[in-house]
Structure 1
Amino acid sequence: MTMTHATAGPGMRRALLRVGRCVLSYVLLDMAVWIVIALVVPDWSFLDSMRVGLLILAFTGIPTVLLAIVAGLAHQHMEVARFRCLLAFPMVLFAFPLIGAAMAEPLVLQVMAQVAFAVWLMPAPLVPENWVGLPE
């Protein structure tokens, strides 16, 4: 059976929209976390916190979103809740650049953001048409 443009179009568009939602939701969540960090950590100025937040976004956000997209495309036979919980563990490891921070707040809040993204915000299944498990 060959796929025509009419059958591949809506599914591809839906998958691209879900990938865009994945990226946008992570970036907005990370921005919110670093605004909270800027308000909670008294030793840093707001601009310094935002600079560090953008740098950490490159180190945590890119691998997290890539993992979410690749795993979302690869796994098709798992219940969504189990998939999200299992994916939260490797996403937490991407917060490793903050282990050397002088204060605990950035690391704790970034880990909480990683878990929140994996468990609640990440669109799963990424391609619902290919999912064999129980969808959302």
Structure 2
Amino acid sequence: MLRRVGRCVLTYLLLYAGAWVAVALTADLEEGFGARMGLGVRLFPLVGVPALLVSVAVVTAHHRMHPVRLRFLLFVPLLLCLWPLVFADVAEPFQFLLLAHIAYAALIPAPLLPEDWAGDPADLPGWHPAGNRRI
């Protein structure tokens, strides 16, 4: 389980960092590259930590919902985590982090604990119907 949670956290951190690199390279702000990246670090407790907590809690708690539906519905609370960026002077931080959250919702392993899966086994990723086993 720790490996899967670590994968979730690492995936989010890489997407978050990539989004802020894109913001720092494209946003028309007076500050330099380092100051823009510093802004991303300062916003991480407001945007990143709630997104990580919500996403790990959701994929851990749901044992019956189809993984695609879960990922689609997970995007709504991830979108709400972007509220500090709605009122920004420039649109790039919101746009790039919105894309990062979409990518994260698509990449998160769902369900987080496949051994606790109570839904249809054919809905699990990696399920091989001919052999009735995970591949």
Where on the TM-score scale, by shorter chain, does this alignment land: which range?
A: 0.7 to 0.9
- Say if 2:130 is the partner of 1:135: no
- Given candidates 46, 57, 67, the residue that maps to 2:54 is 67
3-state secondary structure, aligned to 1:100 = coil
SS in 1 for 2:86: helix
- State the Cα distance separating 1:95 from its structure 2 match: 0.6
TM-score by length of 1: 0.85
- The structure richer in helix per residue is 1
Task: Give the paired residue count.
Answer: 121
Displacement of 1:73: 1.4
Gap runs ≥5 in structure 2: 126-135
Give every structure 1 segment of 4 or more consecutive aligned residues whose post-TM-superposition deviation is greater than 3 Å. none
Q: Structure 2 matches for 1:85-100, cutoff 5 A?
A: 85-100=72-87
- Looking at structure 2, the residues matched to 106 and 71 of structure 1 have their Cα atoms a distance apart, in angstroms, of 25
User: Counterparts in 2 of 1:81-120, with a 5 A limit?
Assistant: 81-119=68-106
The one-letter code matched in structure 1 to 2:3 is L
Q: 1:94, 1:71 → 2: CA distance?
A: 14
Counterpart residue number, 1:10: none
Percent identity over the alignment? 39
**Structure 2: distance between partners of 1:50 and 1:88:** 25
Query: For residue 17 of structure 1, what is the aligned residue in structure 2?
Result: 3
Gaps of 5+ in 1: 1-14
Pairwise CA distance, 1:114: 1.1
Q: Which residue of 2 aligns with 1:51?
A: 38
**Residues of 2 paired with 1:56 and 1:23: CA distance?**
16
